[in-house]
Amino acid sequence: MGDVKTKGHHSAGKTLLNPEMIKADFPILSRRIGDRPLVYLDNAATTHKPESVISAMDEYYRKMNSNVHRGLHTLAEESTAAFEWTRKKIAAFIGGVETEEIIYTRNATEAINLVAYSWGRKNIRKGDRIVLTEMEHHANLVPWIALAKETGAELKYIPIDDNYRLDLNNIDKIISDNTRLVSITHMSNVLGTINPVEEIGQTAHSKGALFLVDGAQSVPHMPVDVKAIDADFYAFSAHKMLGPTGIGVLYGKESILNEMEPFIYGGEMISEVRYDFADWNDLPWKFEGGTPNIAGAVGFSPALDYLSDLGMDNIRNHEIELTAYTIAKLSDLKSIKIIGPHDTCMRGGAISFIDKDIHPHDLATFLDSRGIAVRAGHHCAQPLMKRLGLTATARASIYIYNTPEDIDKLVKTLREARRYFCNE
């Protein structure tokens, strides 16, 4: 596939993807909304699935369906092999970590909650500090708010500056000697900002704190090496990177995971149970109680293959170019304000914007009537919205199958919205 969907090898920072050819691999992208062809610009919420992912999951249920581990029959062995093979691919995809360090979860949200519950309850005490940022998704806010309320720990936030980037001027004071955990997003789902995780992680470790990264928006869009970042934990979801919903990943350093208690108790996560005693399974299974999303793991495998074949450098360069094109086109609209950095080398392709006269919900509804899918609302980041003085934004977010023509349709329809709502 890689030889067809790309024009060659990565070179000179230019995109080598062929989005029109890529679109042909995604059945849903041939759909029409009313009488209009679908223009899908809601990829930060979830991405569409190529035929290879859909077919893999269909074939699993038709030919292999069985529970994993311990079964001695053919179907169980085949299902287990497929399930664990995907784990190996995930470990390779994020920098070549050990497979024991890859924990299957339902999504990035559950992965962060796992850390808050299994590590946080044991290690966070009254007077300790947890450091977050002002741009966090609720998934990386609410678990720590709840833990701080339960334990008496203090929450401290790295602020954002007027350019929608983290203000690190006082980072050595914010990440204090009593900080036990620093937990930040790699790429903001609202602002598109890519944060300097290596630098922040070094500061966290210098103060003796652990470092968690929410990679839900970064792993699908750019090369990620969790060992180079030196993250203690790293969380992401399959459905934002061409895979199925209902399956996510927590990477954790083996030495830390070994010291943590399980998150969910029951079958699979045990090594021995008596009426008055239970002992836990080895990594990674001690964190995977109950029947997992086997079909999701099977579907995640070809999604990883698809992205690997395209090349994550190629994907990143495509998004840099298309993000620059989008920001330039939106900037031509006098009524539109972009909420996020304009420097495309420092940001991803989730582009939030407001129209000075039209509510984002009305704007999104109007765009949908023309077949264009964007998201509108607070994007699960209410504190950030309040910090920015906003209640909601519209958000267009791009991926591998988006083209300049998609952006042209967006901008054209935003002009039509002005005529419809404002008589312009």
Residues annotated as catalytic are 380
User: To 10 degrees, what angle do helices 294-310 and 74-93 make?
Assistant: 40
Q: CA-to-CA distance for 164 and 385, rounded, in angstroms?
A: 12
Question: What end-to-end distance do the CA atoms of the chain give, in Å?
Answer: 46
Q: What are phi and psi of 214, to 5 degrees?
A: -85, 105
> Can you tell me whether residue 274 is helix, strand or coil?
strand
Number of Cβ within a 10 Å radius of residue 321: 17
Give the list of residues 6+ apart from residue 136 with CB closer than 8 angstroms, or none: 183, 184, 185, 214, 381, 383, 384
Q: CA-to-CA distance for 282 and 103, rounded, in angstroms?
A: 12
Residue type, 264: I
Q: CA-to-CA distance for 12 and 277, rounded, in angstroms?
A: 60
- Helix or strand holding residue 351 (H, E): strand 350-355
Contact 198, 229 (CB under 8 A): yes
Q: CA-to-CA distance for 167 and 172, rounded, in angstroms?
A: 12
Q: CA-to-CA distance for 211 and 388, rounded, in angstroms?
A: 26
Number of Cβ within a 10 Å radius of residue 277: 7
